[in-house]
A and B are shown apart, each in its own frame.
Chain A
Amino acid sequence: MNKEFRVLSRPYMVWLSVLVFFPILAMIFIGFSNLDSSVSIGEISLSFSHLNILTQSSTIIAFRNSLIFALATTFICFIFGYFIAYEIKLSKFKNKFVLLTLVILPMWSNLILRTESLANIMSENNILKSLLGFNIFGNIAGTWMAVLFGLVFTYMPFMILSVYTALEKIDFALEEAALDLGLTPLKKFWKVVFPLSLKGVVTGSIMVFLPTLAGFAIPKILSRGQIVFIGNIIDNKFIYTNYNHGALLAVVILIFILGSILLITKFDKEGETLL
């Protein structure tokens, strides 16, 4: 690349190290040291005593909640997202871009705002009830259903777009070849289309699974604090200035994320489906 162009990348490199790389190092350090407001600089030392947070029942329950909801969300998004993506691919509609825009349209509004309004129409009295005369969602605010719905609603577009990109890349001649070789349309789907779209499914699953696992805003708002995710615990630790525990838990989440990225690069060497 040109030298002049390389210079243009410097500001971002500085930004990346100052605001991402060093904070991560600091976070790891805080998680494994006795550093807190009462310790003076000379007394800082390594400490593994914070690891006990990992075995506390509240942490374990939060991890369990995060994991179960993340898995359930990913699974539901896969089932519905796949079929939506497949329908869009099959659609004879001339401008598929319009359909895709409809899919990502909700993502253009702010996440917190969207979730708050979802919580609103899920509660007993809301504007939709006054307009329609009945409650669409019943009164599910505060329950696990509300959280699951909110998560699926928020992260579905990632799945649809990933799967759609993978489906669109499948050469139509391959489907014709399968029919030509004696496969029924259903068998053709399972033996040719689905295996070739798996890349998109894996990428989409990771893009749904990770933010669900690490997120905290959606469960906090939609469960009214009833269901605690690991993200909420980290949130609380930092609010109550227990930086060591917060940092340690954040490091654990980071390990999950790095693992998933490794998985993506293994499945998607060309980076085709990553949006």
Chain B
Amino acid sequence: MENKKALIELKNISKSYDDELVVKNVDLTIYENEFLTLLGPSGCGKTTILRMIAGFIKPEEGEIIINAKVFNDLPPYARPIHTVFQKYALFPHLNVIDNVAFGLNNRTWNYLENFYGKAKIESEIKELSKHKPISVKKAIKNLIYKDSLQALKLVKLEGFISRKVDQLSGGQQQRVALARALVNKPQILLLDEPLAALDLKLRQNMQYELKEMQRNLGITFLFVTHDQEEAMTMSDRIVVMKEGVIQQLGSPKSIYNEPINRYVANFIGETNIIKGTYIKKDLVNFLDVDFKCMGYKFAEGEKVDVVIRPEDFDVVDLEKAKLVGEVVFSLFKGVHNEYEVKVGMEKLLVHTYESYEVGQPIGLTIDPYEIHMMKVDDSEQGV
């Protein structure tokens, strides 16, 4: 990440509504060509951050820096940023192609001449003038039409150009909204829970398509969602937020495997959080058993929270097991089985391919590198 160019920098941003601080001193750097997701439950301030970057609201404190310029006071229309809104916000009085071309159609000629560049306009004039001479304006209009068609092709809606938007399905409206933003060639595309209204199958398809598009177009995507699976699938980096504060920032893998606190661990997928004691380097005790661990450093004898993902348990014969428990609940999940295993007073969630009956004893071990530890923080109550 270090050698990448920073596109957006948020420096110490704060915002409150009715005296309630919804974004608290947020620092965040977004790089070129990355897919960054703001993840958190509703009311955690993620949409507020998005709207501040888009320019709909102003931060009370801090700076929004885009391309090394302070953007705090610039209105939305002067920013190289476009948004895909949660409910699409398509214009009902225009058809599909007019919706897509809306942004460019309403720009000044000066803007459009810069947007397309002299060379492209001239070659367009040359091409069209074979039959009859045309003006610069007409050439530009033609370019806009071509680009809009291209954008619709990109979202696989080229057959719908003259449809009214209210005759489209939710998924199709979503695609039009995407094309409408992309045709303006933004440096940054903001997506405000754009998939929330789609059904599961459609949502999964769109996830792959969005990721694909972001890779091919080389645009920075800033995605807002409360769905951790969605965030995992698409993002290069994820920002987990809670009550206006960034909890953790990192790749999906690092956030999943090494959550920084209980809140993140619970929010990102199912997990086991067990109270333990750090005995000495590479040795931790939990559930009254000493385990080898690696890569963590705490004070000797310090209380820690141990995080073990359900799929990280190894199910073994009883004599080889470090932990022996009793299956108290089982669920067939298709690929794997999900068991609740009672070890001492603690109930553990275990995923395995082996099959066990409820009431059967089960032996578990954990590899040292699968044991993750977090500092105990009394204020963290989990989700």
Residues of A that sit less than 8 Å from B by CB: 171, 173-174, 176-185, 187, 191-192, 195-196
**Which listed residue (A171, A184, A187, A195) contacts B89, Cβ 8 A?**
A171
Residue B117, interface by CB 8 Å: no
**In the complex, what residues of B have CB within 8 A of residue A196's CB?**
91-93
Nearest chain A residue, comparing its CB with the CB of B180: A181
Residue B361, interface by CB 8 Å: no
**Which listed residue (A174, A182, A184) contacts B103, Cβ 8 A?**
A182
A177 engages B85 (CB within 8 Å): yes
Q: A181-B180, A182-B184, A183-B106 known; A174 and B91 CB under 8 Å?
A: yes
Q: A174-B89, A192-B91 known; A180 and B106 CB under 8 Å?
A: no
Classify the interface of chain A: helix, strand, loop or mixed: helix
CB distance from A228 to the nearest CB of B (A): 42
> A234 CA to B314 CA in the complex, in Å?
98
With A180-B54, A182-B184 known, 17 other A-B pairs at CB within 8 A are A171-B87, A176-B56, A176-B76, A177-B83, A178-B91, A179-B75, A180-B56, A180-B77, A180-B82, A180-B83, A181-B102, A181-B180, A182-B77, A182-B106, A183-B106, A185-B75, A196-B92
Q: A181-B180, A183-B77 known; A173 and B87 CB under 8 Å?
A: yes
Residues of B that sit less than 8 Å from A by CB: 54-56, 75-77, 81-83, 85, 87, 89-93, 102-103, 106-107, 111, 180-181, 184
> A182 CA to B180 CA in the complex, in Å?
12
**In the complex, what residues of B have CB within 8 A of residue A177's CB?**
83, 85, 89-91
Classify the interface of chain B: helix, strand, loop or mixed: loop
> A177 CA to B92 CA in the complex, in Å?
12
**In the complex, what residues of B have CB within 8 A of residue A192's CB?**
91
> A185 CA to B106 CA in the complex, in Å?
12
> A195 CA to B85 CA in the complex, in Å?
21
Q: Pick from A171, A180, A182 the residue with the most CB of B within 10 Å.
A: A180
**In the complex, what residues of B have CB within 8 A of residue A183's CB?**
77, 103, 106
> A185 CA to B93 CA in the complex, in Å?
18
> A161 CA to B181 CA in the complex, in Å?
35
A191 engages B106 (CB within 8 Å): yes
**In the complex, what residues of A have CB within 8 A of residue B83's CB?**
176-177, 180
**Which listed residue (A173, A181, A185) contacts B184, Cβ 8 A?**
A181
> A180 CA to B181 CA in the complex, in Å?
9
**In the complex, what residues of B have CB within 8 A of residue A178's CB?**
91, 102
**In the complex, what residues of A have CB within 8 A of residue B180's CB?**
181
**In the complex, what residues of A have CB within 8 A of residue B106's CB?**
181-183, 187, 191
B76 engages A179 (CB within 8 Å): yes
**Which listed residue (A180, A181, A195) contacts B93, Cβ 8 A?**
A195
**Which listed residue (B54, B77, B184) contacts A184, Cβ 8 A?**
B77
> A176 CA to B150 CA in the complex, in Å?
25
- The 4 A-B residue pairs with the shortest CB-CB distance, nearest first, are A181-B103, A173-B89, A177-B89, A179-B76
B77 engages A176 (CB within 8 Å): no
**Which listed residue (B89, B103, B107) contacts A176, Cβ 8 A?**
B89
